[in-house]
Amino acid sequence: MDFDPTLFIDLFAHTFTYWWVIIPAIFLGLVVGAIPGFSAANTIIILLPLTLAMDPEMGLVFMVALYASSRMGAGIPAILVNIPGTAGAAATPLDGYPMTRAGHGHQALAISFVSSTAGGLLTTIIALLAMPWLSQVAYYLHSVEMIVVMLFGISLIASIAAKDTLKGLIAGFFGLMIGSIGADVIYATPRGTMGFLELYDGVPLIPALVGLFAVSEAFIVIEQRSIMSAEGQKLMEEAGWAETWQGVKIAASKWWHITWTSIIGLIIGVVPGAGAGIAAFVAYQQSRTFSRTPEKYGTGHVEGLVAPESANNGVTSGTLVPLLVIGIPGGATAAIMLVVLQYHGVTIGPDLFLTAPNLAYGPFAAMAVTYALLIPLIMPLARYMSKVTVVSTTYMTPLIISFTLVGAFVSRSYVFDMYLALAFGLIGYIARKTGYHVAAILIGVILGPMLENYFLRAMRMSQNDITVLFSSTLGNILWVALFLSIGIPYVLEYRRKRARARALRGEAPAGGK
């Protein structure tokens, strides 16, 4: 796996010749990413007859392009209509949707596109160059370390709860409790399933996403003619290319933010099973922690949109690292790619880099080319996509309800999942109306079961010795980082308050009578 610039230049040039495969895959990925219930993994499964018929290199290019663009597609409805297409985009509406409501929908889209593309491209290049080292990350992140990583994401509940801590924590722990539904991983004991067999595998994420975000929002927005404020509507009607360009410039000015949050995504993506949902929440939480204006998060703050979008695209390249280096897929889509490669008789592992470098490095080249093509293809569409927000809620609400409910059905083909989405919609509606944050509930539902799995695994391996949680050096470093990241905002806020108080005291004599 030595670095050979000629090989990479040839590889990128060669991958560009597949533009006719990549472009349709990009549009397909954008569509399936944007629809809740669909995902790159589902679509690749549906299209297996096609990809299996292609030669392995072309099939891989197609799958990678679809995978990368679906990640970006998931952010579009999250920003425009508060419906995250996948769990990876669940943190996107926190600041993306308030921007839309204020009439900055297409600016938000432009910011999201640039963050996603830059984050994805950057992490692809890093993954390509640092593959031997990155592949080791999974060896160092065991159950104990992953527990702390999960807690980073879960601690976002505390940040979200900043305005009303008690309500935020109640919502978060309620979500964690709901996330605990299902059979436990060791004894398969059904817990809290209310007798529904459909819940034995736990609470499916898509109905939870659809219900908490889309259905609950749909029942609330009928009170207004449009999802936007009157001022926002005026802004949207007057908006043109200048606003799109403004969005690009705003995102470009956040290059450092994009860089480090996408690297968070890359590292989390390397860990098999971790996923974009965790990465997005952890990146959002970290972004807020180190922000000078944490109080602006959740109100349509640019950094709150940049962080999750960069991170979830960072995951995309991360999931390919363990797949190609050690043959362990980092996620569902990578697992299907493995199946396709194996069907063609390709043996994954370190030898592949010597025997077939085109196949081994190819996915990263395809990803880089996809991201390079995404911006010119999608950016001009931002202005038109955002027009969906001016559609009257009279027509938008029934459309959202019917299509998202059927989307909840798709992943498992259980009618039960549609009822579940409606139940989550009811919970979301009550939560929104009474000041509980639906994102806090969702964080619990998404991260709760993962946290429990890692916790049980750690306990099992240590024979129920709780001190195992503090038994590794890396784990302990992460614990310290976790406590610091929870504590720092309070310290900073305290210092800011003191500074403000000092400033007021200092200004009083001059300004006073």
176 binds other proteins (CB under 8 A): yes
Binding mask 23-62 for other proteins (x = CB under 8 A): ---------x-----x----x--x----------------
> In the bound complex, what is the minimum distance in angstroms from residue 50's beta carbon to other proteins?
11
- Only one of the segments 14-22, 174-182, 261-269, 345-353 lies at the binding site for other proteins (rule: CB under 8 A); that segment is 174-182
**12, 16, 27, 173: residue in contact with other proteins (rule CB under 8 A):** 173
440 binds other proteins (CB under 8 A): no
> In the bound complex, what is the minimum distance in angstroms from residue 441's beta carbon to other proteins?
9
220 contacts 429 by C-beta, under 8 angstroms: yes
Give the rounded distance of the alpha carbon of 210 from its chain centre. Answer: 15
What one-letter code names the amino acid at 176?
L
- Only one of the segments 103-111, 263-271, 454-462, 475-483 lies at the binding site for other proteins (rule: CB under 8 A); that segment is 454-462
Tally Cβ neighbours within 10 Å of residue 288: 26
**9, 197, 399, 488: residue in contact with other proteins (rule CB under 8 A):** 399
> In the bound complex, what is the minimum distance in angstroms from residue 39's beta carbon to other proteins?
12
Question: Which residues fall within 8 angstroms of residue 191, CB to CB, at 6 or more apart?
Answer: 180, 181, 182, 183, 184
Question: Which residues fall within 8 angstroms of residue 495, CB to CB, at 6 or more apart?
Answer: none
Site for other proteins in 178-197 (CB under 8 A): 178, 180-181, 184, 186-187, 189-194
448 binds other proteins (CB under 8 A): yes
332 binds other proteins (CB under 8 A): no
Count the site residues for other proteins by CB under 8 A.
Answer: 62
322 contacts 272 by C-beta, under 8 angstroms: yes
**23, 158, 170, 326: residue in contact with other proteins (rule CB under 8 A):** 170
What one-letter code names the amino acid at 253?
S
**Alpha carbon separation from 346 to 325, 339, 340 (Å, rounded):** 13, 10, 9
388 binds other proteins (CB under 8 A): no
Nearest in space to 84 (alpha carbons), one of 449, 423, 400: 400
> In the bound complex, what is the minimum distance in angstroms from residue 67's beta carbon to other proteins?
16
8 binds other proteins (CB under 8 A): no
Whole-number CA gyration radius for the chain:
23
Question: Which residues fall within 8 angstroms of residue 280, CB to CB, at 6 or more apart?
Answer: 88, 89, 90, 91, 92, 265, 307, 308, 311, 312
Residue closer to other proteins by CB (options 207, 330) is 207
- Only one of the segments 202-210, 352-360, 397-405, 477-485 lies at the binding site for other proteins (rule: CB under 8 A); that segment is 397-405
Question: Which residues fall within 8 angstroms of residue 310, CB to CB, at 6 or more apart?
Answer: 115, 116, 118, 119, 257, 258, 259, 261, 262, 265, 283
464 binds other proteins (CB under 8 A): yes
Write out 36-82 in H/E/C secondary structure.
CCCCHHHHHHHCHHHHHHCCHHHHHHHHHHHHHHHHHHHHHHHHHHC
256 binds other proteins (CB under 8 A): no
Binding mask 73-112 for other proteins (x = CB under 8 A): ----------------------------------------
313 contacts 263 by C-beta, under 8 angstroms: no
456 binds other proteins (CB under 8 A): yes
Residue closer to other proteins by CB (options 239, 447) is 447
- 82 φ/ψ sector (left φ>0, alpha ψ -120 to 50, else beta): left
What one-letter code names the amino acid at 84?
P
**397, 445, 458, 478: residue in contact with other proteins (rule CB under 8 A):** 397
419 binds other proteins (CB under 8 A): yes
348 contacts 341 by C-beta, under 8 angstroms: yes
Euclidean distance between CA atoms 293 and 288, whole angstroms:
8
Euclidean distance between CA atoms 276 and 285, whole angstroms:
14
Tokens of residue 394, six digits: 């009279």
Tally Cβ neighbours within 10 Å of residue 8: 18
Binding mask 196-215 for other proteins (x = CB under 8 A): -------------------x
**380, 435, 487, 506: residue in contact with other proteins (rule CB under 8 A):** 435
- Only one of the segments 131-139, 168-176, 315-323, 375-383 lies at the binding site for other proteins (rule: CB under 8 A); that segment is 168-176
- Only one of the segments 263-271, 297-305, 371-379, 410-418 lies at the binding site for other proteins (rule: CB under 8 A); that segment is 410-418
462 binds other proteins (CB under 8 A): no
Residue closer to other proteins by CB (options 82, 291) is 82
Chain residues binding other proteins by CB under 8 A are: 32, 38, 43, 46, 166-167, 169-171, 173-174, 176-178, 180-181, 184, 186-187, 189-194, 215, 219, 222-223, 393-395, 397-399, 401-403, 405-406, 409-410, 413, 415, 418-419, 422, 427, 430-431, 433-436, 448, 451-452, 455-456, 459-460, 464
